[in-house]
Each structure stands twice: as structure tokens, then as C-alpha cells.
Amino acid sequence: MLIAGLVFVILLVIGLPIAFAVGILSTGLIFSAGGMNFLMLVPQRMFAGLNVFTIMAIPFFFLAAELMTAAKIVEDLMEFADAVVGRLRGGLAHVNVLASAFFAGISGSAIADVASLGAIEIRAMEAHGYDKRFAAALTVASSLIGPIIPPSIIIMLYASIAQVSVAAMFLAAFVPGLLLTALLMLLVAYLAKKNNFPRREHRIAPREFLAISLRAGAALAMPGIIMGGILSGIFTATEAAAVAVLYVLLIGLFVKRTLTFKMIPGCLLRAGIMTSVIFMVLATASIFAWFIGLERLPERMAGGLLLITSDPTILLLLIAGMLILVGMFMDVGAALIVMAPILAPAAVSAGIDPIHFGIVMSLTLVMGLATPPVGPCLFAAASVSRLKIESISRAMLPFYALQMLFLLILILVPQISLTLPQLMGYIR
């Protein structure tokens, strides 16, 4: 496996797309294990990896996010966030965080957050006297709320791979997502006071606030509809994603009338491209997952981890440290697909709850979205702000420290993620 790992790293270094790197590695491993007879399993395992009802939600959530952006519903969310927290010192910075939290409850994607909200937020903050590097860094940091607050595409992937309840994972992610939002706003408040950030001077009249709330009401209601439907059993997570698309279409076409039928093909195309990237990785990674099951790698990994320490907390800290390094060099979805089949069973064998492990693993890998050298959210922010990656990364240092602190708290206090699933009966 050491040689296989080196081959995989070399394939990534030479620039091969992650899906092809995983596919080539997995096919080679299967051939070495069983020769030509085992090669017939490659297309079967690829099909089986995609023949999962849960992952059908991924293209629907991508499409919902694209439709929201096209219909300018995102701007309503920002206007509402400004009405709520804009009067605070550093008001636009608080708006940046709060708008990302609202958008997270709809899209579940960090990159979609930066792409749709980033240009608006960075431009507005720069116009009001904020340092452009800080504005870009805050946009990247707040976008990481997206893959945590449900509905989250990353968490749905973990639930599918680890075979745990999607609803339980969504419940487990809810409190950590809110906690991360609160910590970010506290850090912004400290930096605002330290650097004397500007604030909005005029007050919003009650009648104006009501009008803003009504305009944003349709978007704000969407997370409640999705989560309420899932938890009440009215529809599954996959059906909830389809409902989200229908809901955005109705709002955009007939209520706000900011979405036209001519815009829909472009939204479908962009959502299809993003989906195809994830699905190709998922298909090739399913070959790898079958091989590691054949080789009993999770059991061997669990045995190796238990030789180091039998304390679940220390094990989780060690795994988190390793995943931070993995997330720096691999796309979060690809890393989850490759690593979860190995680490999740090993963690469960060591006495770690699979739901809590899923939240920690997802959060740790999500940090890689904002760290060089890969950091897709960094690149997206650099693109919309026209800044260099290096300058945004330096401005990100306080937010990196906050993310590490948050991860440590989550590992040391598992009840943060487990309380809601326990209350709802998903954990006995």
C-alpha cells in the first residue's frame, strides 16, 4: 500500500485529475490482486458506486444554488442580513458571515457561496473602507459554513459512504454550524473594535425592515421546508433536494419574476458540470472502496491505531491532524470518498460514534477548501477579488486559528454534535 500511495501522489503531482488518478490506482490494485478476472469488476463497481438513491440529491442541490443566484435571491439574503446586523461595528463584515450562514441552509456548498456572494460582498466591503485582503479572507472563511450547516453535500456523501442516516447527520451538523457562525462573528467583532471598522449610521425603520423581511422570506423559509420535511418523514433527503429546485423555480419565475426560462439551460449546464466532477470521483473511488474491503484494510487500520492509543479522543485528534494534511492537497469530496471507507470503520472499532466522526471528518477536510496549495475557495476568492493567493492566505491567519480552535472544541466535546440526534432518537 505504501507503493500505491506513492503512485497516487505522483499522479496528482503531474496534474492528473483526481477521478482518473483514483481510477488508475484502483484498477491497478485490483489487477494485482486477481488478474484479468478481477478487471471485469471495475465497471460493475463504478456503476454500483453511482447506483445509490441518496446521491441523487447532489445535482438537485447544485441546481437549486445556481437557480437562486440567477434569480437574484442571494441579494435578498444579503439585504436581510444587513438589516439585522448592519448597525454593528464592522457591520458589513458581520453581514458577510450571516449571509453565508443563510446561504448555507440552501446550497450546502462553500464554492457556490464564494462564487455567488463573494463578488458582491468583497466589492461592498471595499467601497466602505475595508481592506480588500480582509474582505476576501472573511469571504473565504465564512464560506466554510456552507458545507457544515445542512443541507450539506459533503455530509450527504459521508452518510452514503458510511451508511449512516442522512437525517441524523444533518441534525448532528446543525449545532456545530451555528457555533462556527457565532465564533466567526465574535472574531469579527474583536477585529472591528481593534481596527475601528465602519458601521452603518442610519437606522432601518420598522416598516422598511418588514418589507426587507418579506422580500427575503421566501429564501429564509427554504431551509425550514427542507429540514422540516426530512425530519418529519414527509420526504427523504433526495426528495428534499428536488423540492428545493421546484421551490426556487416557483419563487424565481412566478413570485419575484427575476428568473426567466432562458436562464434555466445555463443553470442546468453549470450544475451538470459540477455534478459530473463529483460523480466521476465517486464512481472510481467505489472501486478503491471495494479493494480495501477485500484486503480488510479498515480492520488492519483499526488495529494499528489501537496500538498507538486506545483513547478515542486522542485517536480522533491524530486522525484530524492527518486529515488536515490530506485536505491541503486533495479536493474535499475526493478525500472523503477515498478516506472515509478506511477511517470510518476503524474509528467505530476504536469506540468513536460514527455520526460524531463524520462531523469531525467533514469539518477537518472542509478546512482544506481554504488552505493552499489546492484551496478551491481561495482560488475562487482570488478570481473575484483580483488579489493574489498569497495575500489572501496571510489575511486568513486569524481565521485558520479560529478553525483549529473550533475543531479542537468539537473533538473534546462530542455532545455538540450528538445531542440533537440523541434527542430525536437516532442514537440510543
Query: CA-CA distance, 17 to 10, in Å (whole number)?
Result: 12
Q: According to the model, what pLDDT value does residue 190 have?
A: 95
Mean pLDDT of 200-213: 87
pLDDT at residue 177 tops 90: yes
Half-sphere exposure of 128 (CA within 13 A, CB side): 20
- Say which range, 97-101, 166-170, 286-290, 368-372, has the weakest mean pLDDT: 286-290
pLDDT at residue 373 tops 80: no
Query: CA-CA distance, 299 to 346, in Å (whole number)?
Result: 6
Q: According to the model, what pLDDT value does residue 316 have?
A: 92
Q: According to the model, what pLDDT value does residue 5 have?
A: 66
Name the burial class of residue 206, with classes exposed (0-12), middle (13-18) and buried (19+) by CB atoms within 10 angstroms of its CB: exposed
Q: What does the pLDDT look like over 220-236, one tens digit per residue?
A: 888 888 888 887 888 88
Q: According to the model, what pLDDT value does residue 1 have?
A: 60
Q: Are 158 and 358 in contact (CB under 8 A)?
A: yes
pLDDT at residue 265 tops 90: yes
pLDDT at residue 192 tops 90: yes
pLDDT at residue 267 tops 70: yes
Q: Domain boundaries in the chain?
A: 7-423
Query: CA-CA distance, 154 to 164, in Å (whole number)?
Result: 13
Q: What does the pLDDT look like over 109-140, one tens digit per residue?
A: 787 788 778 878 888 888 888 999 999 999 99
Q: According to the model, what pLDDT value does residue 135 have?
A: 94
Q: According to the model, what pLDDT value does residue 288 have?
A: 77
pLDDT at residue 284 tops 90: no
Query: CA-CA distance, 396 to 133, in Å (whole number)?
Result: 9
Q: Are 368 and 147 in contact (CB under 8 A)?
A: no
Greatest CA separation found in the chain? 74
Query: CA-CA distance, 166 to 109, in Å (whole number)?
Result: 16
Mean pLDDT of 7-17: 75
Q: What does the pLDDT look like over 313-362, one tens digit per residue?
A: 999 999 999 899 888 877 787 788 778 888 888 888 888 999 999 999 99
Name the burial class of residue 205, with classes exposed (0-12), middle (13-18) and buried (19+) by CB atoms within 10 angstroms of its CB: exposed
Q: How confident is the model at residue 168 (pLDDT cuts 50, 70, 90)?
A: very high
Cβ neighbors of 406 (< 8 A, separation 6 or more) are 176, 179, 180, 183, 363
Mean pLDDT of 197-206: 84
**CB atoms closer than 10 angstroms to residue 208:** 11
Q: Sign of dihedral through CA atoms 306, 309, 315, 318?
A: negative
Instruction: Provide, rounded to the nearest whole percent, the portion of the chain with pLDDT above 90.
Output: 30
Query: CA-CA distance, 196 to 154, in Å (whole number)?
Result: 37
pTM (predicted TM-score): 0.83
The rounded mean pLDDT for the chain is 86
Q: How confident is the model at residue 415 (pLDDT cuts 50, 70, 90)?
A: very high
Mean pLDDT of 84-88: 87
pLDDT at residue 88 tops 80: yes
Q: What does the pLDDT look like over 26-80, one tens digit per residue?
A: 888 887 877 777 777 788 888 887 887 777 888 888 888 888 888 888 788 888 9
Higher pLDDT, 49 or 417: 417
pLDDT at residue 160 tops 90: no
